[in-house]
Amino acid sequence: MIERSFGGGSPGATCGLGADNFSARWSRLDDFAPGTYRFTVTGDDGVRLYVGEQLIIDKWFVQGPTTYTAGIFISGGHFVRLEYFESGGGALACLNWTLISGP
């Protein structure tokens, strides 16, 4: 799960990132029990969510804090990747998932 709220700030001034016009990518390999999962992403601004190589949420545009969900049946090891960009104003990126039904 990812919960990053930068507010009006940046991920880190020490690495040269300003409060606006930056991007980030988080990825993780997870082992999923067979079932249908609900993935929930909240972004301010653009977000793209991939499970394996499948793009399941594609909201790559400037927007205020908005939440999106997608359901997918998966089983076994899969990379989960969240891509995010911040244009201006507040900065927020959150991701979580829940098993909603078994095989």
pLDDT tier, 1 (very low <50, low <70, confident <90, very high otherwise): low
Residue 91 pLDDT: 86
Q: Strand 22-44 and strand 91-101: pairing?
A: antiparallel
Walk me through the domains of the chain, giving residue ranges and CATH numbers.
2-8+23-101 (2.60.120.260)
Rounded to two decimals, the pTM is: 0.85
pLDDT 10s digits, 94-103: 999 999 998 7
Q: Write the pLDDT tens digit of every residue in 22-60.
A: 888 999 999 999 999 999 999 999 999 999 999 999 999
DSSP code per residue over 81-102? EEEEEE-SS-EEEEEEEEEEE-
Measure the CA–CA gap between 99 and 34, rounded to whole angstroms. Answer: 9
- When pLDDT is averaged across residues 66-91 and rounded to a whole number, the result is 94
CA atoms of 34 and 32, how far apart (whole Å)? 6
DSSP 8-class letter at 8: T
CB atoms within 10 A of CB 5: 13
Q: With 70 as the cut, is the pLDDT of residue 3 above it?
A: no
| End-to-end Cα spacing for the chain | 23
Whether residue 73 has pLDDT greater than 80? yes
pLDDT classification of 21: cutoffs 50, 70, 90: confident
